Structure 1
C-alpha cells in the first residue's frame, strides 16, 4: 500500500456526515501514522469542536447549495458555489492532496469537483439508501463510490462502486478523554446498573425528549437505573432541571463526544434511525427502541428501522405514535426480559458490516477492495 498520503475528507456539519469521515481518518492513521489528513467543511461549531476533540486539522469553505425562488437568488447562490470551488482548488494545491473523500454535505461538492479538475483521486461515501442532493451530483463526478446499502438509489453499478457499509468511529483515546471538560460519566455507573442511553443525534430530538421524560415519571424500581441522555443544545437546560427534581441517577448533556464508549456500556438504546446510528448499533449488538425521524428524505429512517424491526433486532415506534405511555411500555418490556434483549442483540450483530472504515482506508492507500457484498468482511 502507498505510504505518506495526503488525504482530504470533505463534508460534515452533522454527525451523520462527520462521524463516518472521522472513522476513516482513524483507520488511515492506524494503517499508516504518516498519513496527513485535513478535514474541509463548514464553520459550524459542532463540526469544529468535534474535530478538535479527535485531534484532526480542519479548514472551512463557503458552503451553500444553488437555490432560491427568483433568478437573482439563484445567480447569487451560483456565485457562492464558484467562490467555494476557487477555495477548494487552493486548499488542495496547498495541502498537496493525493486523495479527496466526500462524506456528504454541500461542502464536499466543491472539494470533489476541484479534485477531478486537478486530476486527483476522488471518492464519495453515501451513508443512506437514498442519497442526498450533493452525492447524487457527485456520483457522476467522483472516480469511486462507497455505499452502505446494496440497493442504493442512483449509484452506478460498475467496478468503481464498492459496498462497504457505514464506517464507525473508534472510541476516544485515554488522552482525548482526559482533555474533555465534562466528567467521564462512565465512572459513575455501577457494574449492575441498567444503563439506558437516550439520544436524538447530534442535534437532539424534541419528540424523543418529551416522551422519555414522561416515561421516566412512570418508571418503578429505579434504584438500579442509570440514564445517559443526549438532549441537544436547545433542550439541555430544561431536561437537566427535570432530572434534578427526581432521584434517578443520570447524566444529561447537549452532546457526548465519546458516544462509542457509552454505547459499549449501554443495556438499551433509544434513538432515531439514521444510517450511522443503525450501523453502530448493529456492530455493537445493542438492543434498541428506534423512533425514525418522520421528515427524513424519502422517509429513509423508517426504512432503516423497519428493516431491523422485521427481523426482531429492535422495537420501532413511529414518531406519531410516540408517547410516554408507549415508550414506557416498550422500555419495561425489554428491561425485565433478558432473553428478548439477548435475542435482539444477536440479531443486530448478525446484520453488522463492521469493516467499512478499514475498507475505505485500504482503498485510499491503494489496496484492492472487492465491490461484492459477499466479499465484505462481516
Structure 2
C-alpha cells in the first residue's frame, strides 16, 4: 500500500504543459458595440445622425441607409462626404459608385479647433465646500466603461466619430484607408457604344463581392452611392428601373452575407422620383433605413433670437434651421417591429442646419420664441395718433 503526503497535487503530463496565453481581440478602428444590443456599429461621420439611429449610436454593420432629398440642394451630399471621409480616416475601404476620382478632393478635412473650457466649470480648489452627500446631486449619472490598455500600459480611447471642417480638405496624411471609384457613365466619345455593354450596377456588385471575399475579416467596407438614378450620372441602360432594383437586391444580399464588414449609404433625388411612385417605394423596402430631407426656402429659414455678444451671434447664425428631416424607417429597429421610446423620439419633428465645424446638425424642431416688438408697436400707434385730428 502506497502513501503520499497530503495537499500535494499529483502532476500529470497534460497539466505540466504551460497553457498558451489567449490572444486578446484586437479592436477594429471605427467600430464599437452598440449600447442597445452590443452589435457592431460604425459612425456615419455625423454625430447627430449617429444619435438618431434608434439607440445604436451609429450605423449597425450589415445595414444600408437611403436618404431622399427634395429640391436642388445637396445636404444629402454633405452626409455622403462625411461618411466617406470618416471611413478613410478610420482605415476603411470606401467604394463609390457613379462618380470620378475628382470627388476625392471634395472630402472635408479634419477639424483642428480646440474646445474651449466651459465658463461654468471651476477649478477643484475654487469649488464651494458642501457636504459630500450633496456633491453629486444634479450631475448626470455616467457608467464607467473599462478602457483597453495600450501596449505601453496606458489607457487608449480611439475616436469613434471625428470632427470635420467644411472649409478644409482631407489631407493625404490623414487618409489611412483606400477609396475606389466606379463611374456610371463612360467618358464622352464620338464612337457609338456597343450594345453588349455591362451595366455599371452589375460591374460594381461583381467588384465589391470579389473584394469582400478576398479581404480580411477585420476590414470594414463602405459603399457610397450619391444621387442614384439622377440624370447627371445615370443615362441610357443604367437608368432602367429593373437594373436599379436588381442592384439593390444584390447589395442587400451582400449586406446579409457580410454582416460585420459592410455598410451602405445611398441618396435619391425625390423631386424626380417622389415617394408616391412604385419604384421609390420598392427602393425604400429594399433599404434598412429611410430618411427624408425637406429643405426650407431661404425666406422661411427659422433663426434663433439675436444675442448681444459676437460669439453668440455667430453661433446663432450657424444654428438657423435650414430644413426638416423625416424618419420613415430605422435600421434593425423597424425590422424587429419597433414600438419603443427611441423610435417615438426619432419620429418627432426633426430639423437640420449646416454648420462649418459640426457639419449637418440634426435636432428636434421647435419654432423660435415670439420677440418683443413693443417699440415698433408704440411707434406705429404714435404715427396713427398724429394723423388723427
Q: TM-score range by the shorter chain?
A: 0.3 to 0.5
Using CA pairs under 8 Å that are at least 6 residues apart, name the structure with larger relative contact order, 1 or 2: 2
* Structure (1/2) with the larger helix percentage: 1
> TM-score by structure 1 length?
0.33
> TM-score by structure 2 length?
0.32
